[in-house]
Amino acid sequence: MLQLVLAAPRSGSGKTTAACALLAALQARGEYPCAFKSGPDYIDPMFHRSVLGVESHNLDLFFSTPVTVRRLYAQNAAGHGAAVLEGAMGYYDGLGGISATASAWHLADTLGLPVLLVVRPKGASLTLAAELRGLMAFRTPHHLAGILLNDCSETLYKLLAPMLEKETGLPVIGYLPPLPEAAIESRHLGLKTAGEIADLQNKIKILSDAAQKTIDWPRFAALFDCPAPAAAPRTVPPANVRIAVARDAAFCFTYAETLEALQEKGAELCFFSPLQDTALPPNIGGLYLPGGYPELYAAQLAANTAMRSAVKTAVESGLPTVAECGGFLYLGQTLEDADGKTYPMAGVLPGQGVKIGHLVRFGYAALTSNADSMLFAAGETLPIHEFHHWDSTANGTDFTAVKTNGRSWACGFANAHLYAGFPHLYWAGTPLPQRFVTAACRYIKEEP
C-alpha cells in the first residue's frame, strides 16, 4: 500500500495544493487513495473529499492518544491502495510552536510512515540543501524519504534536483509547475471551503494532469510502498435515536470522526440546513450545531425566522444540544456580519456576536468543567481547540480553558442538556459520544 505523510518546512509551501494533486493523480492511476489531515483543520479535508468523493479524517496527537490515532488511521485506510496524510504548518511545528508534540513529524513517528517533503524553491538554491540537512538532523529518526519541488519550473527542477540529491541524499521524486489557474482563494480562517469554488473540479484536473506528467511514479512507488496497517472492522449498531446535525455553508466544520463516533454509539444523523430549512428534522433526541461561517451568512440566518424560532423552542424545552463556535454564535442574541451590520439570532444565550478582526484565543487548550453537565463530569479535563475572528459579549463561565503557555480564561455554558461555547471538541476516543447519545435517548423517553 502506498502511504506517506506530506509535510513541508513551513506554512505557505503549498501542501494542500500538492495533496490535491497527489490524490487526484493517484485516483486517476487507479490506486483508490484515502486522505488524512494532521491537526485541528476542517477546511483541508473538504478539499480531500472533493478530490476523492470519500471522507477525509483528522489525526491529532493533542486530541488523541497514539493508540486512538493508530486505530483511526488503520480503520479508515483499510481497503484503500494509497493513503496521503497532509501535515500542518512546518514539519516539526507542534504545540504552541515550541514543541514537536502533535506535529507532522510526531504523526509520522507514531505511525511509522515515510515523509514526502514539499519544498517551494523560490529565493534559494544551495541554501535549500542546508535547510533540508538541518531538518534531517533535528530529530532521530527524521522519517524524510523524498522531496517534491512545488511551484517550480522544469528548468529550475533540472538544476536543483541533482544538487539536492547529492547534498542531502534524499531523492527528488518530481515537481509541480506554477499553476496560477489552479490557485485556491483564501480568507480570514484560511482557504475558502471547497463548496464555494465553482470551478474546483477543473482546478483539480489541472493539478492531476500536471502531477501525472512531472512526478516519477515508479520512484514514488518504490519509496512509499509500505505494509498496510492491520485494522479491526468498524462496527455501527442499529440506530436507537435521531440526532439533528446542522450542515450547510454556514455550519460546515465537523470532524468525520466525531460523526462516526456518534453513529457507533447508536445515533442516526439527520442533516439539516439552518439557512434553508424551516423546521428541525422530526423525532429527534439531540441537536448538534457545529462551527463554520455564520458571520458570512448572518442576514440569511436572521431571515429564516421559522428555523430560529424552532431552535430556540427546542433548546429551551430541554432538547440535548451541542453548539461549538459558529453554532454557539447562532444561539446568541445577535451576530455582527463582516460589514458590521447586526442581525438577530436564535436568542437562547445572552451574548452578542461581534467582529474582532483578528484571531481570538487561537490554538490548543485544555478545557476543565466546573460542574457536572450533559457532556462533562465536574473537574474533568479534555483537549480543545479555538479558531475564530469573532467573539461574544457573554462567553460563559462553566469551564476553564488553559493554553500550553499557562494563559487561562472562563468560557462555555453547560447544564444537564446543553454544551455551548467557542471551544471545538474532538469526540473520537472520548466519553462524549456515549454521553450525548444517552442524553438524547433519555429525552425521547421522557418527552410527553
Grid cell in block for residue 307: 428555523
Confirm whether 325 is a catalytic residue. Answer: yes
Q: Which of 152, 252, 270, 325 is catalytic?
A: 325
User: Which among 108, 177, 166 is positioned nearest to 139, based on CA atoms?
Assistant: 108
CA distance 129 to 324: 44
Burial class of residue 233, CB neighbours in 10 A (0-12, 13-18, 19+)? exposed
Q: Which residues are catalytic?
A: 325
